[in-house]
């Protein structure tokens, strides 16, 4: 039997924080694409986003995540013969065996420098560290690292992804989706150090952090490593001054193979909102790559047609079933989180509804179904403890629950009993008997008592006179 049966005063108030502009669907040439809002992960626009395709070098976003998670960014790593194990025609950073490279510069080399030889160094050192096998060869390291990539991708929610290598050079079974790449990119941007690297239009510096051998750790200096500089320019034209520059662009990575076509995982921020776009196999039209315009169109669509909205459900009171005599028949309630902000379009805003689900007790959810806050009514059945959770409010958009928050009782509500009724009447009588309000009644009572006394005296006297008169007549 449900604990809540009657009436609830609940209203949803939805406030637009920023102006609302007319919606216009983006023009996108890519075979597959997705646009998400980074904070919530909500999809704002998409097409074929779950179709598995070849990611090319955007694969290195995942490689960078694993490098950041398992390597020491301030440690120096020495390049070995793994740098020679690159496919023919692949982009490289021209490392040499014996190069000394800071951990953070290995990530810069993959993202800004776009070198597969750099990714090979990461593969070997991460695989040896995680496996505990300091002598692991590069072939075994590649397999080990690919397994790490797939496990981590699944943990992040990229469930349609299978990585075969760390760099994305073509392999028939090396596939992912636009949505999965957005999920991976979202996680990468959540780490400030990585986000800063993805935003670099260029980088120059000493690979080892210094070109002075005397400044190297002793165990590194003993290896007599190569100390060299590099000057790298990002291939992400959204970050660089020029025709394809996009104001607010801050990442991430490009990719291309003949099989994958032109791919791009990009991000941009405006007014504190970060959007992530993924375009896969954008065509080249009239010798002009369309991936830059695809990304720009997606970002324009997102920033122009979506805005932060505040969602708040104003709950006033709930009737109490059979309240104690003399007590307020309404229960004040409050929300654990009074309001939420979500990145919504005007059309989505108009479709958001607030619904409520009540609890049978403080510990268990009342099923999966919500009831519209404007339909039906509910009564709370005592006893209720102060601050007890009595239900939940959900903000729902097209069947998707955007946010939920608990409804709490603002005070304790005790059940009505015979003893409480008697106590109420006794308390009322005592309080009234000695209150100013009782003075008129006291005066009336005294007046009536006085009149009754006088009347009684008069009647008694008349009775005596009558008795004397009767006695006198008898004697006479």
pLDDT tens readout for residues 37-95? 999 999 999 999 999 999 999 999 999 999 999 999 999 999 999 999 999 989 999 99
CB atoms within 10 A of CB 450: 10
Pick 24 or 410 by higher pLDDT: 410
* pLDDT given for residue 18 in this prediction: 41
* pLDDT given for residue 471 in this prediction: 58
Encode pLDDT of 23-36 as tens digits.
678 999 999 999 99
**Residue-averaged pLDDT of the chain:** 87
State the average pLDDT over residues 301-311. 94
Pick 49 or 373 by higher pLDDT: 49
In Å, what is the CA distance from 58 to each residue of 117, 148, 170, 360?
15, 17, 12, 50
In Å, what is the CA distance from 394 to each residue of 12, 42, 43, 372?
10, 17, 20, 10
Which helix (H) or strand (E) is 409 found in, with range? Answer: strand 400-409
Pick 474 or 196 by higher pLDDT: 196
Can you tell me the distance from the alpha carbon of 343 to that of 271, in angstroms, rounded to the nearest whole number? 12
In this predicted structure, the answer to whether residue 245 has a pLDDT above a threshold of 80 is yes
| φ, ψ at 139 (rounded to 5°) | -60, -45
In this predicted structure, the answer to whether residue 364 has a pLDDT above a threshold of 80 is no
* pLDDT given for residue 3 in this prediction: 40
pLDDT tier, 464 (very low <50, low <70, confident <90, very high otherwise): confident
State the average pLDDT over residues 94-100. 95
* pLDDT given for residue 380 in this prediction: 77
Q: In the numeric block, which tokens belong to residue 219? A: 């165990």
Can you tell me the distance from the alpha carbon of 279 to that of 466, in angstroms, rounded to the nearest whole number? 121
Q: Is the dihedral of CA 79, 85, 88, 91 positive or negative?
A: negative
Pick 370 or 138 by higher pLDDT: 138
pLDDT tier, 356 (very low <50, low <70, confident <90, very high otherwise): confident
Q: Are 411 and 332 in contact (CB under 8 A)?
A: yes
């Amino acid at each position: 039997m449900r604990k809540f049966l009657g009436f609830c005063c609940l209203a949803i108030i939805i406030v637009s924080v920023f102006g609302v502009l007319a919606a216009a669907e983006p023009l996108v040439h890519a075979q597959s694409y997705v646009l998400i809002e980074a904070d919530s992960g909500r999809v704002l626009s998409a097409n074929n986003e779950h179709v598995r395709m070849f990611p090319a070098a955007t694969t290195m976003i995942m490689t960078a995540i694993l490098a950041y998670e398992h390597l020491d960014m301030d440690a120096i790593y020495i390049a070995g013969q793994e740098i020679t194990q690159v496919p023919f025609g692949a982009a490289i950073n021209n490392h040499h065996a014996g190069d000394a490279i800071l951990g953070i510069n290995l990530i810069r080399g993959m993202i800004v420098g776009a070198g597969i030889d750099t990714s090979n160094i990461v593969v070997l050192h991460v695989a040896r560290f995680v496996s505990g096998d300091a002598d692991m060869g590069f072939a075994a390291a590649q397999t080990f690292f690919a397994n790490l990539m797939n496990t981590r991708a699944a943990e992040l929610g990229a469930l349609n992804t299978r990585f075969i290598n760390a760099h994305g050079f073509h392999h028939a079974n090396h596939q992912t989706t636009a949505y999965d790449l957005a999920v991976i990119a979202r996680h990468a941007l959540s780490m400030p150090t990585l986000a800063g690297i993805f935003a670099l239009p260029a980088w120059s510096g000493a690979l080892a952090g210094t070109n002075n051998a005397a400044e190297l750790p002793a165990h590194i200096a003993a290896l007599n490593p190569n100390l060299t500089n590099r000057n790298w320019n990002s291939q992400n034209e959204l970050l660089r001054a020029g025709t394809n520059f996009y104001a607010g662009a801050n990442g991430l990575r490009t990719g291309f193979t003949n099989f994958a076509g032109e791919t791009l995982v990009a991000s941009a921020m405006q007014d504190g909102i970060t959007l992530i776009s993924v375009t896969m196999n954008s065509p080249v039209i009239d010798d002009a790559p369309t991936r830059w315009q695809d990304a720009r169109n997606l970002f324009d669509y997102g920033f122009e047609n979506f805005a932060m909205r505040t969602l708040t459900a104003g709950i006033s009171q709930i009737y109490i079933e059979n309240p104690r005599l003399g007590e307020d028949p309404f229960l004040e309630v409050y929300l654990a989180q009074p309001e939420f902000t979500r990145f919504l379009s005007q059309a989505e805003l108009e479709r958001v509804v607030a619904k409520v689900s009540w609890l049978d007790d403080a510990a268990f959810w009342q099923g999966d179904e919500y009831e519209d806050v404007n339909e039906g009514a509910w009564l709370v059945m005592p006893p209720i403890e102060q601050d007890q959770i009595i239900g939940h409010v959900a903000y729902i958009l097209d069947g998707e629950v955007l946010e939920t928050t608990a409804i709490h009782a603002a005070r304790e509500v005790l059940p009505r009993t015979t003893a409480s009724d008697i106590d109420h009447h006794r308390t009322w009588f005592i309080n009234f008997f000695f209150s100013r309000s009782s003075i008129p009644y006291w005066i009336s009572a005294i007046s009536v008592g006085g009149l009754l006394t006088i009347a009684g005296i008069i009647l008694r006297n008349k009775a005596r006179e009558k008795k004397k008169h009767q006695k006198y007549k008898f004697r006479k």
